[in-house]
A = this chain, B = another copy of it.
Amino acid sequence: MKKNIITISRQFGSGGRTVGRLVAEKLGIPFYDKELVEQVADETGFDAKFIEENGEFSPSKSIFSFAVSQGVACTPNGLSISDFIFCAQRQVILKIAEKPCVIVGRGADYILRDRDDVFNVFIHAGMKERAERIVRLYGESEKKPEQRLADKDKKRKIYYKHYTDREWGDAKNYDMCLDSGRIGIDKCVELILDAIKD
């Protein structure tokens, strides 16, 4: 079956977002990253920045998050803020995935896991390559780049585990995983396009 939806999960600093944007451009289909966050902001009334950061915090465990992770239809009543946002995000992702698109992050691979027309990609890279990239793109900060990366990795891992009960970065959750530091961004784009070609 043709793969019309591409989800990109990625380590911070791996260039996965850029890979996703370029794949979408080449295919001439919409790219959802910040656009998705903004739609969730519209739906929930929360600030986009808050939603973006929420995707990287470890939410407190609740029975509701379990229900959400099991795909049970959800309602804002009684949900924690994290779960409420995840719920709204899930609805937005299901809606935008009605048409071909590329979605970066936000657990889209898991939310769309039962669909044969979805192709799930994980982009990662070595610590050295990622550290160089974040300093180049975002500049220096008080924390060393390696520490910033380790913190982000940990948060994404916990968030993903919490909402999916799967291991973030475990190859078996994805159709294709690529080391962008070793392969290069442009080649990653080429390989993804080749993989989904009929």
Task: Mark A residues whose CB is within 8 Å of B.
Answer: 11, 119, 122, 124, 167, 169-172, 174-179, 182-183, 187, 190-191, 194-195
Contact = CB atoms under 8 A, between A and B. Distances in A.
A183 B178 CA distance: 14
A183 B194 contact: no
A174 B175 contact: no
A177 B170 CA distance: 10
Contacts of A11: 172
Contact of A176 (B172, B177, B194): B177
Contacts of A167: 170
Given A169-B171, A176-B176, A176-B178, 12 more contacts: A119-B182, A122-B171, A122-B177, A170-B170, A172-B179, A174-B179, A175-B178, A175-B182, A175-B183, A176-B177, A176-B183, A187-B195
A175 B119 CA distance: 18
A152 to B, nearest CB: 14
